[in-house]
């Protein structure tokens, strides 16, 4: 979902054209200097006003590269992925956190301040910024701020920051394609609902009573047009 720049003749939304454009850009990397007309990064049914607002946010940059690198480093500590699924930083997280911080400005100061808190804490303990610490040193600090119920007084601000970042990273991951796959969400596609699978009902010691079974829609009847001939109220 990186921003791409393209020629006006290719100004169309959608995944297919996106691919086409990346090929062209590969041919001529300087193309971006010829025009500032951009292909739409996102196409999800916006009104013109909404699209304009999205564009405006995307044209601005909040985090420095250094700040974002720290965010992604911690993100992968929070969500490291497993053998079959990538870590958080490989799921479009940088773009999401950059965007949402501008979209919900209440994140701005706590995020920036929290990153500073972290570097300051690292400096005090190890005389280096957080990114320069060894893994063990990083984890030592994170262990002090990752469990809000038992945090020491000198770490409360760090813990607040970590909870916020954990929220953003978790929500970013589980709303990404990869995260949804890890979670196992099965929906968002046309289907026919015919109740809870029998083995699940059994496992939970539950059952549909006779009335429910009798009254409920039979999947094979769903395309029939209802006629009310024998219906009485």
Partner 1 sequence: MSFQIIEQPVKYDICIVGSGAGGGMAAKILSEKGFKIALLEAGPDFDPANPEQRTQLRWPYESPRRGASTVRPFGDFDMAYGGWELEGEPYTKERGTEFDWFRSRMVGGRTNHWGRISLRFGPLDFKRKDFDGKGDNWPIGYDDVKPYYDKIDKLIGVFGTKEGIANEPDGYFLPPPKPRLHELYIKKGADKAGIPMIPSRLSILTKRVNKKRQACFYCNQCSRSCTVYGDFSSSSVLVNPAKETGNVDLFVNAMVREVTTDENGKATGVHYIDKTNLKDYKVRAKVVILAASACSSARILLNSKSSAHPNGLANSSDVVGRYLHDSTGSSRMAFIPSLMDRKRYNEDGVGGMHLYTPWWQNDNKNLGFTRGYHIEYWGGMGMPSYGFGFNMESLNSLVPGMNGEKKKAGGYGLGFMEDVKRFYGSTVGMAGRGESIPRKDNRCKIDNDKLDKFGIPVLKFNYKWSDEEVKQAEHMQDSFEEIIHAMGGVALGDKPGKESSFGLENPGRIIHEVGTTRMGDDPNTSVLNKYNQAHDVPNLFVMDGGAFVSQADKNPTWTILALAWRASDYLAEEMKKGKI
Ranges within 130-169 binding partner 1 (CB under 8 A): 142, 146-150, 163, 166-167
CA–CA separation, 144 vs 150, rounded Å?
Answer: 9
**Contact between residue 71 and residue 166 where contact means Cβ atoms under 8 Å apart:** no
In the range 34-63, which residues lie near partner 1 by CB under 8 A? 41-45, 47, 50, 53-54, 57-58
Distance from the Cα of residue 127 to its chain's centroid: 34
Binding part of the chain for partner 1, among 19-27, 59-67, 108-116, 172-180 by CB under 8 A, reads 172-180
CA–CA separation, 173 vs 181, rounded Å?
Answer: 10
Helix (H, G, I), strand (E, B) or coil at 85: strand
Task: Tell me if 172 contacts partner 1 by CB under 8 A.
Answer: yes
Binding residue (CB under 8 A) for partner 1 from 18, 114, 158, 179: 179
In the complex with partner 1, the residue whose CB is nearer, 12 or 31, is 12
Q: What is the dihedral of CA 107, 109, 111, 114, to 10 degrees?
A: -150
Which pair of structure tokens corresponds to residue 62? 């909040």
CA–CA separation, 98 vs 110, rounded Å?
Answer: 14
CB of 86 to partner 1, least distance (A): 12
**Contact between residue 168 and residue 100 where contact means Cβ atoms under 8 Å apart:** yes
What is the 8-class DSSP label of residue 192?
-
Of the candidates 107, 117, 165, the residue with the CA atom closest to the CA atom of residue 141: 117
In the complex with partner 1, the residue whose CB is nearer, 35 or 193, is 193
Task: Tell me if 224 contacts partner 1 by CB under 8 A.
Answer: yes
Query: How far, in Å, are 14, 38, 45, 98, 132 from residue 54 at the CA level?
Result: 16, 13, 12, 12, 35
Task: Tell me if 181 contacts partner 1 by CB under 8 A.
Answer: no
Which pair of structure tokens corresponds to residue 55? 């564009």
CB of 224 to partner 1, least distance (A): 6
In the complex with partner 1, the residue whose CB is nearer, 9 or 188, is 188
Task: Tell me if 208 contacts partner 1 by CB under 8 A.
Answer: yes
Task: Tell me if 191 contacts partner 1 by CB under 8 A.
Answer: yes
CB of 119 to partner 1, least distance (A): 19
Task: Tell me if 95 contacts partner 1 by CB under 8 A.
Answer: yes
In the complex with partner 1, the residue whose CB is nearer, 156 or 213, is 213
Number of residues that bind partner 1 (CB under 8 A): 82
Binding residue (CB under 8 A) for partner 1 from 17, 32, 123, 171: 171
């Amino acid at each position: 979902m990186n921003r791409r720049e393209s020629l006006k003749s290719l100004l169309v939304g959608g995944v297919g054209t996106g691919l086409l454009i990346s090929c062209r850009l590969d041919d001529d990397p300087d193309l971006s200097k010829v025009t500032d007309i951009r292909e739409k990064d996102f196409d999800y049914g916006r009104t013109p006003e909404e699209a304009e607002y999205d564009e405006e946010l995307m044209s601005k940059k909040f985090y420095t590269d250094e700040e974002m690198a720290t965010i992604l480093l911690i993100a992968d500590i929070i969500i490291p992925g497993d053998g079959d699924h990538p870590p958080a930083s490989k799921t479009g997280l940088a773009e999401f956190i950059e965007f949402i911080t501008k979209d919900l400005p209440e994140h701005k100061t706590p995020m920036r301040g929290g990153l500073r808190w972290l570097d300051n804490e690292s400096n005090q303990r190890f005389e280096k910024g957080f990114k320069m610490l060894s893994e063990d040193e990083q984890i030592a600090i994170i262990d002090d701020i990752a469990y809000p119920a038992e945090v020491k007084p000198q770490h409360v601000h760090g813990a607040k920051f970590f909870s916020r970042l954990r929220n953003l990273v978790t929500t970013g991951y589980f709303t990404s394609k990869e995260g949804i796959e890890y979670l196992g969400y099965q929906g968002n596609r046309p289907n026919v609902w015919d109740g809870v699978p029998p083995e699940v009902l059994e496992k939970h010691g539950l059952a549909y009573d006779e009335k429910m079974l009798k009254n409920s829609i039979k999947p094979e009847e769903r395309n029939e047009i209802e006629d009310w001939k024998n219906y009485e109220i």
